[in-house]
Structure 1
Amino acid sequence: MTQTTVADPNARLPRQIPYIIGNEACERFSFYGMRNILVQFLVSSVILAYVPEAERQGVAKDVFHSFVIGVYFFPLLGGWLSDRYFGKYNTVLWFSLVYCAGHACLALFEGNRTGFYTGLFLIALGSGGIKPLVVSFCGDQFTTANKHLAKIVFDAFYWTINFGSFFASLLMPLFLRNFGPAVAFGIPGILMFIATLVFWLGRKQYVRVPPTRGEDPDSFFNVARTALTTQVAGQGRPGLLVAGTGVVLAAAMLLCWALHAWFGINLPFWPEDFHFVISACLALGALIAFGGIGVSMQLERARGRHPDAAVDGVRAVLRILIVFALTTPFWSLFDQKASTWVIQGKDMIVPHEAWWWPSWLVKEAGQMQALNPLLIMLLIPFNNLVLYPALRRIGWEPTALRRMGFGIAFAGIAWVIAGLIQLKIDSGAQTSLALQTWPYLLLTFGEVLVSATALEFAYSQATQSMKGVIMAFWYLTSTFGSLWVLLTNVAVRNEAVTARIAATGYSENAFLMFFFAVFAFAAALAFAAYARTYPMQDNYRTA
C-alpha cells in the first residue's frame, strides 16, 4: 500500500479534534481561573497572616512565581513518562485526576496553609504533567496528507485556550470578591472535572502513537551518551568534562541550599534567600546548559555507532534548546502581568465615571487580565488574515523565528510603557486603570508572535520519539522566566542594590519595569542573531 507523502487538498480535520479542543478550553478556564486570583487572594488571606503587611505583596509574588515554576517544570516528568512508558493518552488522563484533586484542596483549605499549598503543588503537578502532551497529542492526529490543516488547528487550539482564559480572568475576581475563595476556587475545579470527562469521551477515536519504552537504541539520550563516553585515540573527552562540570555545579548548588535549610549553615557566597525552588532551578539550568554544550562538542563521535539521521536529529534538538533559552526573558515579563501588573493596578483609579468604561462588569484591577485572552482571540485571526498576507505582498515572509524575535521586542516595549505609568503613579497623580490597556495590548501582540508560533514550531522541529520531551523543554522556558523574576526579587532585598536603585531617582517598581524592558530588548537582539543561522526541520508523521 502506497503511503501518502504529499498534502491532500480535500483532506478534512480529524473527527477527534473537537474532543481535544473542548478539553483544552475547560482546562484552561480552570487553570487561569485559579491562577489569576492567586496573588490578590494571598495578599489579603490568613495564609500569609504570619508575614508583616508591608511584605505581603512581595511574598505573594514569590509564592505565585514559585507555583508557575512548578507548573512549567513538571512537563519534564509528564513528557518522560509519556514517551517512555504510558503514552500520551494515559498520561494526560491520570495527571488530569491529580489536577482535579489539587483544585479540591484549594476550595476546601482556603484558610489552612498546608492544605492550600498542597493544592497548589497538585495543580502544578497535574497541569504541568499534561501541558506538553495535549499539544503534541493533537499533532499526532495529523499526517503528511493533512498537515496543512494543523496550523489552523494549532491556532484554533491557542484561540480556545484564551477563550477559556478570558471568561476565567473576567469572572473569577468577581466570584472571589462576592462569594469568597471557596466558590472562586471551587468553580475552576468543576471545569477541570468536565475537561477530564470530555477528554475521556473521545478515547475510542484517538490516534495513539505508542511510547518508545526506552527500546529505541538511537534515541536522543542514547546518542548523547555515546557521544560523551566514546574515546578517540589521541584525543581527550572535553565534552564529557564540560558535562561533568554541570553535574558538579548542580550538586554543589543543592548542597549549599541543604546546608542552609537543614543545618543553618550560612555560606558567604550563597544568598540566604535562595530557597529550594531557586536552587533546584539553577541546578537544572546548569545540567541542561553544560550537558548540551558537552554533547555538542563530541557529537560527531556518535556517527558510525548510530545512524546519521539520529545524530543529525540530536544536533537539531540542541539547536532548538538554544532557541528556547533565548525566549526565557520573554516569559519573565509575560508572567508578571498576573503579579506585578495586578499590584500596580491596585494603585490606579478605576474610571467608573467614563461613559465607555464597562462599570457593570469591570470593577477591579485583577480583571484587566481578561484583556490578554480577549486580544489574543482578536489578534490571531487579524495576523493570519490581514497582517501576514500584507507582509508577504511586500516581499517579507513572517517566518516562525522572525515572529518570535519581534514578539520578544514587543514585550520590551510593553514594559517601557508600564514603567512610564508607574512613574506617573509615583508622582502622586491620579492614574486611570484604563492606561494599562496599552501595555496589555503590546504584551499580548508579543505573546501571539512568540507563544502561538512556538506551539507549531516546537512540534515540527522535534523528531517523532522526542515530541513529548521537546514540548516539555519548551514549557520549561516559563520556569526559567519565573526564575529570573525570583532572582530579581532576591536582589532587591539586598541593601546595596536598593541603595543603587534609590540613587537613580526611580522607585523600586519603576526601576524594575525598565530593567525587564532592557532585558527583553537584549534577548530579542540575541534571538535575531541566532535565528539567521537556524536550519528549519519538518518532522510531521508520515501518513
Structure 2
Amino acid sequence: MESTNETIMTAPERKGRYPKSIPFILGNEAAERFSFYGMRSILSTFLVAQFFNPTGNPALQTVAEAQSNEKVHMFVALAYITPMLGGILADWFYGKYKVILYISILYCFGHLILALFDTNLDIFSYGLLIIAIGAGGIKSCVSANVGDQFDKSNEHLMSKVYGWFYFAINTGSVVSNIFIPIIYFKFGASWAFGVPGILMALATLIFFSGRNKYVKVPPMGINRDNFVFITFYALTHLSKKQKDENWLDVAKSNFNPEKVEGVKAVYRVLAVFAFIPVFWALWDQNLAEWVLQATKLNLNTGLGIIFLPEQVQVLNPIFLVSFIPVFTYFIYPTLEKWGIKATPLRRLGFGFFLTALSFLIISMIQQSIDGGGKPSVWWQILAYLFLAWGEIMVSITGLEYAYTNSPKSMKSTMSAIWFSTVSIGNLFVSKINSNIAEGGFFAQLHGANYYWFFTGLMLVATVLFMLISGRLKETRYVG
C-alpha cells in the first residue's frame, strides 16, 4: 500500500489545463495570417493585370504569368528564409517576445507601402520585401512560443494546441480569402492591400495585450556549446573518430556531451527536413499557379455560387479548418485503437503522397484546358481537398516535430530551419518560372507538362522518404 502511494506522489501531475497565454497567441496568429494571406490572395492576378500584361494581350499571357509566378515565389522564399534570422535574434540575444513585438511594427509599414504605391512596381516591390522580413522575422518565434508555454505537467495538451494554432492560421486565411478578392473587385487594389494592413496592426495589439501572460524564455546567449561550434569542431577533428562512433562524438572531449547529443538530434531532424522543400514547392503553387489556372475554369458551381478566380483558394483553409479536428480527434486515435501508430514520420510520408495526388488532378485539369476545354471548378476543388489532407499530415506534424525533437537552446532556430524548407521550395519554383519567362530550358514545361513535372517530383521524393525514414529515431526535448 505504501509503495502504491509513493508511486502516485512521484508521478507527474497531468493538470489538463491550457496556459492562459494561448488565447492571445491564437488571436494574434489569426489576425496576422489574415493580413498575410489576404494580401497574397490577389497578388498573382494583380501583378499580371497591373504590371506584366495590363492590356490583356493573349500573346503575352504565358510570359506574364511566369513573371508573376517568379515574383510571388521569390517573395515567399524571402518570407520563409528570414525566420532563421528571427530565430537567432530570439534565441541568442533578445528573446521571442521582443522580436515578435518589434518586427510586427515593421510588418505594418510594409502593408502601408503596398496600399499607397499599387501603381509603382519598384516601390511596391520594396513593400513586399518589408512584409517578407516582417512575416518571416516573427514566424519561427511565434510557433516556438507556443511550445514555450508548456511544461511537463501539461505537455500532453501540446499536440492539441498546435492543432488549434493551425486552426487559427486557417481561420484568418479563410476570412481574408473570401473578402479581400471582393474588396479588390469592388474598390480596387489600394483598399484590398490596405485592409490586411489594418489587421496586422490589430494582430500587433492583441499580442501586446497578452504581455503579462506569456512564459518568456530568456535568450540563451552565444555559448561555446552551440550547434555551429560543435559541428565545426567535429568536422575538423574527424581523424579522432573511433570505429563505430558517430562523427559528432569526437566533440564530446571538448564540449558538453549532453549538448553534443542535442546536435545529433538536430541532424536527425534535418534528415527528415531534407524532403520537405519538395512538398512546399508544390503546395505554394495553390496560391499562385492554381489561382491563374482558375481564371480559365468554369467558376459556376451550379449551386448558386460563382467564384472569383482569387476566391477558389479559400477552399484550402476551409478544408483545413474542417478536417484538423477530424484528424486530431478521430482519425489518429482510431488508427491507434487499430494498432496502427500514426507516428510523425508516417504522417509525413502519407502527406507527401496525398500532395502528389492533388497535383495529378491539377495536371489533368490543365491538360483539358490545353485541349480547348473549360473544366468545372469542381475538379480544382477536389484537388484542394487532397492538398488540405496532405498539408494537415505534413505541416502540422512538421511544426510539432521541429519543436519536440530539438534541444531547448535550439527551439526557435530549429523552427526557423523548418520554415526555411518553404523558402527553398519556393526559390526552386521561382527560378523555374524565371527560366520559362526568359525562354530557357524549362520553357518546355508549358501547360500540363509544368504540373506533370512537379507531380513526378513529389512521387519520387515520397518513395525516397519512405525508404529512409524507417532508419531514423526520434528524441523528444520538452519541458
Q: TM-score, structure 1 length as denominator? A: 0.82
CA offsets per residue over residues 388-419 of structure 1, 9 Å max, x none?
A: 22222322111111001110111101111111
- Deviation of 1:304 after TM superposition, in Å, equals 1.3
1:69 to 74, 77, 81: 77
The residue that corresponds to 1:265 in the other structure is none
Summarize the alignment of residues 99-110 of structure 1 with structure 2, pairs less than 5 Å apart: 99-110=107-118
User: 1:130 pairs with 129, 134, 138, which one?
Assistant: 138
Q: Is the partner of 1:111 in helix, strand or coil? A: coil
- Alpha carbons of structure 1 residues 231 and 41: separation in structure 2 relative to 1, 3 Å: closer
> Deviation string for 1:38-69 (max 9, x for gaps)?
01111111477699843211111111001000
Structure 2: state its 5+ residue gaps. 1-8
Q: Give the residue type in structure 2 aligned to 1:401.
A: L
SS in 2 for 1:425: helix
Tell me the residue number matched to 1:280. Answer: none
Rounded Cα–Cα distance in structure 2 between residues aligned with 1:102 and 1:398? 41
Q: 2:421 aligns with which of 477, 487, 490?
A: 477
Deviation, 1:222, is 2.2
Matched, 1:453 2:397: yes
**Which residue pairs with 1:282 in the alignment?**
none
One-letter code of the match for 2:120? N
Q: CA contact under 8 A between 1:81 and 1:87: conserved in structure 2?
A: yes
Q: CA offsets, 1:220-253, max 9 Å, x none?
A: 12212222334747x9xxxxxxxxxxxxxxxxxx
CA distance in 2, matches of 1:346, 1:445: 24
Report the alpha carbon displacement of residue 433 of structure 1 after superposing the two structures with TM: 1.7
Contact 2:432 / 2:442 at 8 angstroms: preserved in 1?
A: no
Task: Quote the Cα distance in structure 2 between the aligned partners of 1:96 and 1:48.
Answer: 33
- Supply the AA of the counterpart residue of 1:321: L
**What is the CA RMSD across the aligned residues, in angstroms?**
2.1
- Residue by residue over 1:130-168, the C-alpha shift from the partner in whole angstroms, topping out at 9 and shown as x without a partner, is 000001111111001101111111000001100000011
Aligned residues: 465
Moved more, 304-313 or 487-496: 487-496
Is residue 464 of structure 2 the alignment partner of residue 532 of structure 1? no
Aligned to 1:488: 432
Range that drifts further, 300-309 or 72-81: 300-309
Q: What's the counterpart of residue 186 of structure 1?
A: 194
The SS at the match of 1:303 is helix
438-447 or 388-397, which moves further after superposition? 388-397
Mapping of residues 304-323 of structure 1, within 5 Å: 304-323=253-272
**Does the C-alpha gap of structure 1 residues 24 and 494 become closer, same or farther in structure 2, counting only changes over 3 Å?**
closer
Output the CA distance in 2 between the equivalents of 1:5 and 1:462.
Answer: 27
- 2:67 and 2:434 in contact (8 A); partners too: no
Match of 2:173 in 1: 165
Q: Which residue identity is paired with 2:26?
A: I
Q: Map of 1:152-231 to 2, 5 A cutoff?
A: 152-214=160-222, 216-230=223-237
Q: Distance in 2 between matches of 1:34 and 1:377?
A: 20
Q: In structure 2, what is the Cα distance between the partners aligned to 1:469 and 1:50?
A: 46
Matches within 5 A, 1:61-460: 61-214=69-222, 216-230=223-237, 232=239, 298-351=247-300, 354=302, 356-359=303-306, 362=307, 364-460=308-404
Deviation of 1:450 (Å): 0.1
**Change over 3 Å in CA distance of 1:427–1:139 after alignment to 2:** same
For 1:285, the equivalent position in structure 2 comes to none
Q: Output the amino acid matched with 2:43.
A: L
Q: Contact 1:218 / 1:307 at 8 angstroms: preserved in 2?
A: yes
Offset from partner CA, 1:171-192 (integer Å, 9 cap, x none): 1111111110110000000000
Q: What displacement does 1:79 show?
A: 0.6
Q: Which amino acid aligns with 2:226?
A: S
Among 453, 463, 466, the alignment partner of 1:515 is 453
Deviation at 1:365, TM superposition (A): 1.6
The residue identity in structure 2 corresponding to 1:45 is Q
Question: What is the alpha-carbon distance in structure 1 between the residues aligned to residue 385 and residue 200 of structure 2?
Answer: 29
TM-score, structure 2 normalization: 0.93
SS at match of 2:78: helix
Shift of 1:322: 1.8
Aligned-pair CA distance for 1:125? 0.2
The structural deviation recorded for 1:114 is: 2.2
Distance 1:528 1:8 in 2: 37
- Counterpart contact for 1:43–1:60, Cα < 8 Å: yes
Aligned equivalent of 1:249: none
* Structure 1 unmatched ranges of 5 or more: 236-295, 502-506
Equivalence for 2:5: none
Contact kept? 1:365, 1:433, Cα under 8 Å: no
Partners in 2 of 1:498 and 1:474 — Cα distance?
28
8 Å contact kept, 2:66–2:437: no
Contact 1:7–1:146 under 8 Å retained in 2: no
